[in-house]
Amino acid sequence: MADQNPKDPKPKGVKPAMPPGVRPAGPKGVKPAMPPGVKPAGPKGVKPAMPPGVRPAGPKGVKPAMPPGVRPAGPGKKPAMPPGVRPAGPGKKPAMPPPGGGDGAPRGLTRQDFATDQDVRWCPGCGDYAILATVQRLMPELGVPRENVVFISGIGCSSRFPYYMNTYGMHSIHGRAPTIATGLKAGRPDLDVWIITGDGDGLSIGGNHLIHLMRRNVDVQLLLFNNQIYGLTKGQYSPTSEFGKVTKSSPYGSIDYPFNPISLVLGAEATFVARTMDRDPKHMKGILRQAHNHRGASFVEIYQNCNIFNDGAFFQFTEKDAKPDTTIFLEHGKPMTFSRGRKGIRLNGLQLEVIDLTDGAWSVDDCLVHDETSREQATILGRLFQQPGLPRPFGVFYRELRPTYDELLQGQIEDVTRRKGPGDLEALLRAAETWEIH
């Protein structure tokens, strides 16, 4: 292309040279020059200039630029919200400010605030649904901010629980939830820690961890979902399955005698021991509230129906028609009666026996009065697991107040720190004998 004389006029339609970033005002319809980086507002319907780093809205269907990590509202998309807060929308929980009314206490929380947007992946009809709903209804009433609540689980159907609670949580490894919870309470004794486990997860590979959690009296709530079967791995017999149980792993009948969870934790020096059932949400909620209010390790066994691999395992105790004659609900300071007051429990020596309260031979005054502070009585009641003809107890078996592991640990750390001063990790690592290897 031939060189052009600088004095020659520019060809028609070519703009004159201007300082970098500045454009001249031209004929009508052409925008006037503006300072660098700023564009003027145009005719009606044209969006004004945006701050640096933000792009104006483009043609329909093109998203406007947003700050990094934030997405705009749009069809089928969630509007941008502060981190950790979700907006209200069809089928979604409303956005909530951080719990608290200025004094650290939660305000106005509901069950929905503790439910997540995760699909609940349990079999239709599973007893876990009732337990989840009961816990979600209870949580707002406990007065604990969500950010201070943690659910820790192991492996199994029950251990999906943390996914469905809108709190902190951890789906850990098989049987080790008590260990992880102990470490968490040791480091953060202010947190409200719940452990979710099952009869397989908690009493088989996790049995050793569970008994040491109980004897240490770590201030946590442990809920053991007992369905007497391995459900997640499709129907093998578990540590609580009855003798002779025919399953995929015991085709000729199990020859193992079952664990009695109540007796097990009483033997491990647990300070709160209780039992409830999935089909009585009102009773379950009351027991879980008491477990939470207890200062120390709370153990709650929950009879939970696995309608796929062990349907009806507890129906004799949980169904409306059979329940009155086969269960007894323990209440501290009250006589032990059942069958709508027609029968009672009497202690004959060291053995429990059923007495008829309708024939005049016995009265309520002859019934054993429940004392949840008596470990001896709790031990006898726990053995009803094995005795036919006697009702199955539900409620609080035993309650004891003693210093918790986390309290003692923090006290010990504070005492040593006062006497020896803050620790020095480098000095500690070099304090013992060392060897040089050449």
Residue 428 confidence (pLDDT): 83
What's the average model confidence in pLDDT over 349-363?
A: 94
Query: For 230-248, what is each residue's pLDDT tens digit?
Result: 999 888 999 999 999 999 9
Which of 56-65, 339-348, 418-427 tops mean pLDDT?
A: 339-348
**pLDDT exceeding 70 applies to what percent of the chain?**
75
Q: What is the pLDDT of residue 423?
A: 85
- More confident of the two residues 311 and 95: 311
Task: Mark out the alpha helices in 196-260 (DSSP H runs).
Answer: 199-200, 207-216
Superfamily of domain 111-319: Thiamin diphosphate (ThDP)-binding fold, Pyr/PP domains (3.40.50.970)
Give CA–CA dist 112/109, Å, rounded: 8
For residue range 270-294, list pLDDT tens digits in order: 999 999 999 999 999 999 999 999 9
In the predicted model, what is the mean pLDDT of the chain?
83
The 10 Å Cβ neighbour count of residue 328 is 24
343-348 and 351-356 beta bridge pairing: antiparallel
Paired with 115 in beta bridges are 165
C-alpha 187: how far from its chain's center? 19
At residue 18 the predicted structure's pLDDT band, cuts being 50, 70 and 90, is low
Q: How far is 111 from 362, CA to CA, in rounded Å?
A: 46
Between these two residues, 183 and 21, which has the higher pLDDT value? 183
The per-residue pLDDT for range 293-310, each reduced to its tens digit, is 999 999 999 999 999 999
Cα separation, 23 vs 3, in Å, equals: 25
Q: Can you give the pLDDT at residue 106?
A: 52
Please check the confidence at residue 54 and state whether its pLDDT lies above 70.
no
**Cα distances (Å, whole numbers) of residue 392 to 29, 149, 291, 322, 323:** 89, 33, 20, 12, 10
State the Cα–Cα distance between residues 115 and 232, nearest whole angstrom: 23
Tens digits of residue pLDDT in 374-407: 999 999 999 886 678 899 999 999 999 999 999 9
Given a cut of 80, is residue 319 above it in pLDDT?
A: yes
CA dist 31 and 131 (Å) reads 67
In the chain, where the domains are located:
111-319
Q: Is 429 left (phi over 0), alpha (psi -120 to 50) or beta?
A: alpha
Q: Which of the listed ranges 2-16, 85-99, 105-119 does the model predict with the highest average pLDDT?
A: 105-119
pLDDT in tens, 152-211: 999 999 999 999 999 999 999 999 999 999 999 999 999 999 999 999 999 999 999 999
C-alpha distances (whole Å) from 284 to each of 131, 144, 243, 339, 380 are 8, 19, 28, 20, 23
Please, what's the largest Cα pairwise distance for the chain?
129
Position 107 scores a pLDDT of 64
Lowest-pLDDT range, 5-19, 248-262, 338-352? Answer: 5-19
Provide the strand spans (E) within 56-205: 149-153, 168-171, 192-198
State the alpha helices, DSSP H only, in 126-277: 128-138, 177-187, 199-200, 207-216, 261-267
* pLDDT tier for residue 71 given thresholds of 50, 70 and 90: very low
Predicted confidence at residue 23, as pLDDT, reads 52
Contacts of 424 (CB under 8 A, 6+ apart): none
List pLDDT tens digits, range 104-126: 445 689 999 999 999 999 999 99
Confidence of residue 17 (pLDDT cuts 50, 70, 90): low
pLDDT interval class at 55 (50, 70, 90): very low
pLDDT reading at 96 higher than 90: no
